[in-house]
Amino acid sequence: MKKMGLLYIILASVLWGTSGIFVDRLAPYGITSLQMTFIRGLIAFVCMGVYVLIVDKSIVRTNFKEILLFMGSGVSFFLTASCYYQSMQLTSVSTAVVLMYTAPIFVMIYSVAFLGEKLSPLKLFAVIGMIVGCGLVSGIIGGFKVHPVGIAIGFLSGISYAAYNIFTKIEMQKGINPVKANFYCFLCSILVGAVAARPAGIVDCIGLNPPTVIFLSVGVGIVACILPYFLYTKALQVIPAGTATSLGILEPMAATIFSVLILGEKLSAYSVAGIVLILGMVFLLSREKQ
């Protein structure tokens, strides 16, 4: 069973890593990063809704305090994906995914500042390592041309991802059903998207090539969201959460490999060094929490 759990984590990470492919293929049809996030959330919400109706309708019962948490996770989920997709288009898939994976550093800063956690030498070392790694990946170190807005949005995706993890952690500590938490997270996400993403514009984009755009839109919701979530949840039933978190660094590795082999992106030696350094620091932080 443990081997199956590890396999589920690996498959989930690979599927999450396909996001860049869908973004690259959808962008030429005029679909914005906000609209891509709205589509992803909508497809995920529909699939989750069908699951809830079949398995247990009582899951949807909630209260005001829980709704506040769901709003927090939903907004941060929407911001994470939107900033991630936009950063991809302004920089590169490999840069965007690694910047998003600076989330643990922001979670750690929050934990030290507000939850009373101690700043151990290992955590401080990881912070310094991540800062250097980000400098290498972004091109700041090495003298390469950088896209300041793209880098800033990439960091914003990391901050939003950290907020999402914090809200989710609070929800789990309060004993909220994971399916229920994600159901409402996706619902709040599409409500935000309905206001911010101009969903009506998606119809015009679909009209340019209906079969392809619909296929890719459904794909980004199922392949890059619902399926990996399902596999990750199954894995947590048989392996420790710390192990799952450590293996989560396979996602940026998978995204980087896809960006090179499928999207034709090129990586400098500085970028490779930065990616390895950041992922190494993430791994150290995740191992210390066990």
Q: Which pLDDT tens digit goes with each residue over 52-75? A: 999 888 888 999 999 999 999 999
Distances (CA, A) of 123 to 180, 275, 282: 33, 18, 10
pLDDT confidence band for 242 (50 / 70 / 90): low
Average pLDDT, the chain: 85
Percent of the chain with pLDDT over 90: 39
Residue 161 confidence (pLDDT) above 60: yes
What integer pLDDT is reported at residue 103 of this predicted model?
81
pLDDT confidence band for 124 (50 / 70 / 90): confident
pLDDT confidence band for 144 (50 / 70 / 90): low
What integer pLDDT is reported at residue 64 of this predicted model?
92
The beta-strand segments (E) located in the chain are: none
* pLDDT average, residue stretch 204-218: 93
Task: Report d(CA 38, CA 190) in Å as an integer.
Answer: 5
pLDDT confidence band for 230 (50 / 70 / 90): confident
Q: What angle do CA 56, 62, 68 make, to 5 degrees?
A: 135
pLDDT confidence band for 282 (50 / 70 / 90): confident
Q: At 147, list the tokens.
A: 């896209």
Residue of 49, 36, 50 whose CA lies nearest to 184: 49
Give me the residue spans of the domains in the chain: 2-288
pLDDT tens digits for 7-20? 888 898 899 989 99
The whole model's pTM is what? 0.86
**Range from 41-55, 105-119, 232-246 carrying the lowest mean pLDDT:** 232-246
254 CA to centre of own chain:
13
Residue 172 confidence (pLDDT) above 60: yes
Cα distance from N-terminal residue to C-terminal residue, the chain: 21
Residues contacting residue 73 through CB under 8 Å, at least 6 positions apart: 164, 167, 168, 171, 181, 184, 185, 188
Main-chain dihedrals φ then ψ at residue 227, nearest 5 degrees: -60, -50
* Structural Rg of the chain based on CA atoms: 19
Residue 155 confidence (pLDDT) above 70: yes
Percent of the chain with pLDDT over 70: 90
Name residue, tokens 């069908």. Answer: 50
Task: Report d(CA 168, CA 63) in Å as an integer.
Answer: 16
Q: What number of other Cβ atoms are within 10 A of residue 241's Cβ? A: 13
**Range from 31-40, 105-114, 211-220 carrying the lowest mean pLDDT:** 105-114
Is residue 38 within 8 A of residue 199, CB to CB? The reply is yes
Task: Report d(CA 198, CA 248) in Å as an integer.
Answer: 32
Is residue 160 within 8 A of residue 8, CB to CB? The reply is no
pLDDT confidence band for 246 (50 / 70 / 90): low
Is residue 16 within 8 A of residue 224, CB to CB? The reply is yes
**205 residue type, one letter:** C
| SS3 (DSSP) at 268 | coil
Distances (CA, A) of 72 to 13, 68, 75, 148, 161: 24, 6, 5, 28, 11
What integer pLDDT is reported at residue 202 of this predicted model?
94
